[in-house]
Structure 1
Amino acid sequence: MTFARPATYSALIFDLDGTLINSAPDIAAAVNRTFALRGWPELETDYVEAFIGNGPRRLLYDMLSDLGLPCDDATVTAALDGYIRNYTEHPADRTRFYDHVLDDLVALRDAGFRLGICTNKPHALTQSILEVLGLDVLFEAALGADAVPACKPDPRHLIAVAEAMRLPVGEGAVNWAYVGDTAVDQATADAAGVPFFVVPWGGGSLVDVPAHQRLSRLADLVQFGPRTATAVE
């Protein structure tokens, strides 16, 4: 999708995993605790990370299928319950910010942006992680996959976050952008009709976007901030 970039954005909505935080070690640890109880193999973090992006149920189904393990609905549901329980008990033991992310988020807020999160992670777990990492004070709205009728790449997930922030939605009305690291994020933004930017970490290097949509760091977006534009004028 091509889009005309406005002189300013009033808000930015972010994906969480792979975009703001490297949560793969905690996700892999929760998976492995769940697998161990069932006698399934221990997995490397890099292997688990390759399946992240479509929510926990899809994460487990795709890995079980790839490993040739049972992946019927009942098995996946039972594994999902264990995974959520294990992850909730250790939400951010090994999770880290990508370089400069925390400082850049503060800079974006100070430049006048309103900030939100649209993530396929479960909602309660999202809120817990944001609180543990001290991010909850920066974001106006953060909606996990089970807090909305449909999750990414369905655009209604992203639109629900925008509506929670009282941002304009609909063709010709959008003055905000979505930032992510996967083709799922890109497809979500495209389907919602909003500008999209991709980070260079997480899965960002694999996403095919024009050069002007590829960030070197989040601070690149400060130039589109409302207060920045006012200062220039």
Structure 2
Amino acid sequence: MRGTVIFDLDGTLVDSVPDLADTLDEVLTGLGLAPVGLEGARALIGHGIPRLVQGALTLRGHDVDDAEATAIVERFVRLYGGRLSQRTRAYPGAEAALERLAGAGWRLAVCTNKREGFSRAILSDLGLLRFFDLVAGPDTFGVAKPDPAHLTRAVPGGGPAVMVGDSIVDVTAARAAGMPAIAVAWGYARGPVADLGADAVAQDFAEVPALVERLAG
């Protein structure tokens, strides 16, 4: 094994906004609130389901106590679990890049702020789960990005590793873990990808294997 390449999930490997937005809008309209739509949901993704839901409630000016917030999150989880891959798709070139990396001897892992079970189900539905030695959500190790432990615990023996993600959460976690980071240009970053401070930017999935080789090969 040459080392580990750690991928974020949403906005990096897969475009999950349509299913997340559909679920979020169903929850909001059930509360008598206006939906946020695709772009509204896109701006809230990256920190896990509870913060996604809370962000949407805040956006709509809907204050709730802890008990109500928990109930709303639980409803979101139930609804989302029934449509994980209805409209979610892998980004173009993802499968080919994973094939190339695995064939070159890299161990592949996913570290995402989405629950492990949901993440595994999505990857399985899209035919990508077979590439990954590990899929770690916030419920896997009890930590979530930007906590660097989410990444370091995914690397056996502390060997060489590279993080590939689309957000400041990914780059911050990689920096704190002492790993180089590749930012992808097709994800959900809230500003210019070049401003994330990654070691390299991939404009296309086909560029990822060569960037991994350059940074940690």
Q: How far 1:225 sits from its partner (Å)?
A: 4.8
Residues 156 and 217 (structure 1 numbering): CA distance in 2 closer, same or farther, change over 3 Å? same
TM-score (norm 1): 0.84
SS of the residue 2:55 aligns to: helix
Structure 1: stretches of 5+ with no match in the other structure: 1-7
Conserved 8 A contact 2:184-2:201: yes
Residues 87 and 200 (structure 1 numbering): CA distance in 2 closer, same or farther, change over 3 Å? same
Partner of 1:4: none
Aligned partner of 1:81 among 74, 84, 87: 74
Tell me which moved more, 61-70 or 188-197. Answer: 61-70
Deviations 1:179-213 (Å, cap 9, x if unpaired)? 00000111111111111110111135633256851
Give the superposed CA RMSD: 2.1
Partner of 1:91: 84
Alpha-carbon distance in structure 1 between the residues aligned to 2:95 and 2:79: 26
Q: How far 1:144 sits from its partner (Å)?
A: 1.0
Alpha-carbon distance in structure 2 between the residues aligned to 1:123 and 1:154: 17
2:124 aligned partner, one-letter code: E
1:142 aligned partner, one-letter code: V
Structure 2: stretches of 5+ with no match in the other structure: none
**Percent identity among equivalent residues?**
34
Residues 29 and 157 (structure 1 numbering): CA distance in 2 closer, same or farther, change over 3 Å? same
Equivalences, count: 212
Residues 9 and 198 (structure 1 numbering): CA distance in 2 closer, same or farther, change over 3 Å? farther
SS of the residue 1:94 aligns to: coil
2:202 aligned partner, one-letter code: L
- 2:215 maps to 1:222: no
Partner of 1:125: 118
TM-score (norm 2): 0.89
Partner of 2:181: 196
Conserved 8 A contact 2:34-2:60: no
Partner of 1:11: 4
Q: Radius of gyration: which is bigger?
A: 1
SS of the residue 1:92 aligns to: coil
Alpha-carbon distance in structure 2 between the residues aligned to 1:36 and 1:211: 38
